[in-house]
A and B are shown apart, each in its own frame.
Chain A
């Protein structure tokens, strides 16, 4: 990449925004086709039950009803919901598109009603009579994997989906040598991804042309197309998937859902377009959830704070069935458990537990926020135990910049980083030393300030293919149109990330145009080359690189054409201002239009050169990228209510080179807010009957603008060596770095009360109780805070959560 740029790296406003802000963009629900029918799903109110019978006679004869369908009607016609995860010994948990004889979570569909309008549909859905025989639900993942628990999927003997083990270094020796061993159980609660737009599908089948077009609010149009073809037994070349505007995904739309296949099947079967729109209540119970792990962590350390080894036993609650990546997500947690530290020995055991709940799957960060949260909590626990400053213990264990690429004992190779520098900047910008003094002074007044530090590394730019279930590459076709406008067709599928803008900046930069001259097309399998999709912070690092390489191919081709026309060396041209200029001689320059004309009229091309101006690249990265950073969070706790108020947030992130700093900041801000959600507000609470009791926004709290302090963001730039743009990816950094910074701050504030750990979300009453457990000492400087490990019975904390009733 050139160092002096005109558009790359500039804070251009998003090209997407005018249509979104004006409400003139089109989402699935805005699409209306002639003769369109509406589908609605009858869902189980039970977490675990036998479906004894379904009587749809009344519904069938209700006004406006076209048909009522159950699993029986789809037998042999729609395949099971696909899961791309491959793990040794993965037990089967196949999900039929409609329940066959048994339901395994609240919200599982048992029947689908099709009617001429939404009103008739809604009334008819109440008329479908389903006779259930309730079975004992399996809700607690620890109980689920214990003996005698009812088994969800026979013929399996138990509810253990998989055991995944990974070990590197001499763990036994590390724990033998340790001066101290620190242990803690840490929960990572279940979350609802909560995209602003719920899911929605519209399908149309043209009988004459034999083409099936599916509009779906998805992050993966191409993978969906392939899977639909397989599930429906339809030739893939007659299936087209289009993603209109997608109102957020966060991983929840990185999936293939039963509704997508059923709606497509019904459109073919009934000969009418069929639409289904998910309600918010459905979104709560039948769109994937995120996180939900129980981690028992152990660290062996020497007196001076050097990490010697760590041991991990993690139980991941997978829910009742596998969605696309369900069993894979916890293994990503496993990959990142070294954090940004040199740990010579690591031992990991991850157990997937099947329970009567909605499946968990990739949710913003997908496994990595969990890992970072555990590691960063652990570092603070060690600091408290050794009476060291949390910043100091981190600094002590960082690999040095010269040690990169750095390989962890479990074999993960971090590409490039300077962890010390991020931490130094974060401490300086937040005024860390001064904050500590302020904290000590306020404690004397009975006010409780907390300062939390987190230094993270994450794994991004999902590729390479060797590590991905369905390919880790991305594609892009770039076409310079005869009029000089440029179209970039990307296989990535942006849905809020802003790549219509950042890719246009790239196009303008490479070809010497303006971003308005470049249009980015995505999310239509009929228009763009096969691609993988947008998730895992890969859109720019992998998809953007493919686009960049195609742009460079066209620039080179244009240079060759102009070289041929003028006799100048093609290497000697500069693109800019609508012309291709020779560095040496002004009369060897021609307008870009003339060069494009030459490519299309094809009368004066160099011998052997193909006409036209179109280039396609399938880019395969050599490794993941590893963005990193340091966050500092300051909170104050209201000692009377237990309420936590965020006072200050400083984030220093390194996502490599940056195409558009406004987009990067937006991603960081959004990620931090979502972290605030997990740390302070959100929790999908299932009761002992398997009912989701936080199943609506009146009970499931999400962060709002008034919960946020001013966020100060800084960047360091360590280019990634694994792609020519040097970008790393930034879509998930905020959710990865921020959650532990917030909780570390809360625990730090509570140090005078002898608190060493608090589980998320830090609800007021939970904090209020902790503060009453022990009266605050008059003077409690940090170093004097007692941090006595309090051993809880294994599932005490868990039970506290699940026992709460409405």
Chain B
């Protein structure tokens, strides 16, 4: 469990990090919490020549409210999100998803930015980020741009990030009165990753679903929005029956993954089950029922 030799850099600020990225290009890897990169390096599945550690860099570890949104620095650790009283009050879906990640040790080191940039198809955050219709800020030497969560995930382990770019911030909406969110997950029993993870956000108006967004992880090669379900429910009455009927289509058109732990059929079926469970919970919470 010893990685191949590499050169280690710990930039003190973003500018320095951009310079290092530009200089070393493909041969460099960014290190955030290290819970995906380091195991791969130790097994020598990854052998970057340069490791640029963002852990010493100041100013990417904030959680704050800005104009009706919550903004979160990319280096905020899972445990900080899990226990943030601000997020629990303003956007409880993120703490709920964070609490479902790995174990205490992983949550104490892993970062939201690292997890999202790695884009593991079975990670928990991508579902939450999609369900919240988040906006990601990507920065490089030549400036910054924003990308929607939906556009951010391109394919398995692939994102919109271009060479030289760093994911710096995640912006999510404040969940107000009348809205509710939930994250429901079927974990893989060995790794704890999601076989299926579904994040749902709903807004109720007069008993109808004024707004529905659903993010699904674990099922396909990348996390996705269950638009079939969203469209079927938007504007409809929030009844058990309508939710159950719509949720069945949560994996419609998705090329589901198959592995040792779950077949494609099972994943598709479970996408439906957990979409229904997440929606039911989110609706109950939106209606003010404690659950």
Contacts and interface: CB of A to CB of B under 8 A. Distances in A.
Contacts of B263: 765
A279 B1 contact: yes
B189 interface: yes
B260 A699 contact: yes
Contacts of A643: 186
A609 interface: no
B172 to A, nearest CB: 28
Interface in B242-269: 259-263, 266, 269
Contacts of A710: none
Contacts of B44: 126
Interface in B14-70: 43-44
A167 to B, nearest CB: 41
B41 to A, nearest CB: 12
Contacts of B186: 641, 643, 764
B2 A698 contact: no
A452 B5 CA distance: 54
Given A697-B190, A765-B266, A118 B260 contact: no
Contacts of B260: 685, 693-694, 699, 804-806
B144 to A, nearest CB: 35
B262 A765 contact: yes
B248 to A, nearest CB: 12
A701 B186 CA distance: 14
A162 interface: no
Contacts of B43: 281
B282 interface: no
A681 B269 CA distance: 21
Nearest to B5: A123
A441 to B, nearest CB: 23
Interface in A86-124: 118-119, 122-123
A123 B189 CA distance: 33
Interface in A116-149: 118-119, 122-123, 126
Contacts of A280: 1
A640 interface: yes
A122 B2 contact: yes
A702 B190 CA distance: 7
B270 A701 contact: no
B241 to A, nearest CB: 16
Contacts of A681: 189-190
A142 B244 CA distance: 46
Given A640-B273, A685-B260, A765-B262, A119 B190 contact: no
B142 to A, nearest CB: 38
Contacts of B5: 123
B266 A123 contact: no
B105 interface: no
A123 B4 contact: yes
A432 interface: no
A406 interface: no
Contacts of B259: 805-806
A114 B140 CA distance: 46
A641 B270 contact: yes
Nearest to A697: B190
A641 B266 CA distance: 9
A164 interface: no
A697 B192 CA distance: 10
B191 A699 contact: yes
Contacts of B269: 768
Given A119-B2, A279-B1, A698 B266 contact: no
A700 interface: yes
Contacts of A768: 266, 269
B2 A118 contact: yes
Given A122-B2, A685-B260, A694-B260, A699 B270 contact: no
Interface in B60-106: none
A437 to B, nearest CB: 29
A119 B6 CA distance: 12
Interface string B188-215: 1111000000000000000000000000
Nearest to B269: A768
Given A123-B4, A123-B5, A685-B260, A701 B190 contact: yes
User: How big is chain B's contact interface, by range?
Assistant: 20 to 34
Tell me whether chain B's interface is mostly helix, strand or loop, or mixed: loop
Interface string B259-291: 111110010011001000000000000000000
Contact of B190 (A700, A764, A765): A700
Interface string A636-648: 0000110100000
Contacts of A122: 2
Interface-central residue, B2, B4, B44, B186, by most chain A CB under 10 Å: B2
Nearest to B1: A279
Nearest to A761: B189
B1 A698 contact: no
Nearest to A804: B260
Contacts of A805: 259-260
A698 B191 contact: yes
B260 to A, nearest CB: 5
Nearest to A687: B260
A641 B190 contact: no
B189 A701 contact: yes
A694 B261 CA distance: 10
A517 B37 CA distance: 52
B88 to A, nearest CB: 22
A123 B263 CA distance: 38
B113 to A, nearest CB: 22
Nearest to A703: B189
Nearest to B44: A126
A765 B258 CA distance: 12
A806 B260 CA distance: 5
A462 to B, nearest CB: 33
Contacts of A123: 4-5
A699 B190 contact: yes
Nearest to B193: A698
A761 B256 CA distance: 24
A104 to B, nearest CB: 24
B273 A698 contact: no
Contacts of A279: 1
Contacts of A806: 259-260
Contacts of B190: 681, 694, 697-702
A765 B261 CA distance: 8
A764 B2 CA distance: 36
A681 B191 CA distance: 12
Contacts of A640: 273
A717 to B, nearest CB: 38
Interface string A769-806: 00000000000000000000000000000000000111
Contacts of B189: 681, 701, 763
Interface in A718-765: 763-765
A513 B21 CA distance: 70
Interface in A681-706: 681, 685, 693-694, 697-702
A560 B12 CA distance: 79
B281 to A, nearest CB: 15
A539 B270 CA distance: 48
A699 B191 CA distance: 6
Contacts of B270: 641
Nearest to A685: B260
A759 to B, nearest CB: 16
Contacts of A697: 190-191
12 contacts: A122-B2, A641-B270, A681-B190, A685-B260, A697-B190, A698-B191, A699-B190, A699-B260, A700-B190, A701-B188, A765-B266, A805-B260
Given A641-B186, A694-B260, A804-B260, 17 more contacts: A119-B2, A122-B2, A123-B5, A280-B1, A281-B43, A640-B273, A641-B273, A681-B190, A698-B191, A699-B190, A700-B190, A701-B189, A763-B189, A765-B263, A768-B269, A805-B260, A806-B260
